[in-house]
């Protein structure tokens, strides 16, 4: 669920500001970087593109090989998800 939360939150931003969403999960990071490039997301959030990429990279690991996804992996992803969602709420004024 955390992974999908990041992807859907990113879709919310790109839908609002770029009028598009990622057709493939692999496009999500590129679209996030486009938000920064066009000035919709402040440059100090640029490294959050790594959060998007981490979510995509861990998707298969978490969904299909849960045994390889440790408690530490979960806690790290939870912290990153909380940060990303807080930024999205700020941008969408929720």
Distance CA 12, CA 76 (A): 23
Return per-residue pLDDT of the chain as tens, 94 residues: 888 999 999 999 999 999 999 998 889 999 999 999 999 999 999 999 999 999 988 776 766 666 677 888 889 999 999 999 999 999 998 7
pLDDT in tens, 7-17: 999 999 999 99
The per-residue pLDDT for range 77-90, each reduced to its tens digit, is: 999 999 999 999 99
Give me the residue spans of the domains in the chain.
2-92
**Confidence (pLDDT) at 65:** 67
């Amino acid at each position: 669920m955390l992974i999908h939360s990041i992807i859907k939150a990113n879709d919310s931003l790109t839908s609002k500001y770029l009028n598009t969403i990622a057709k493939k999960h692999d496009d999500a990071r590129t679209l996030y970087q486009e938000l920064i490039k066009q000035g919709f997301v402040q440059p100090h959030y640029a490294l959050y593109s790594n959060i998007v990429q981490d979510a995509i990279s861990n998707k298969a690991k978490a969904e299909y090989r849960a045994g390889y996804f440790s408690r530490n992996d979960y806690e790290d992803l939870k912290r990153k998800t909380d940060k990303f969602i807080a930024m999205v709420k700020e941008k969408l004024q929720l």
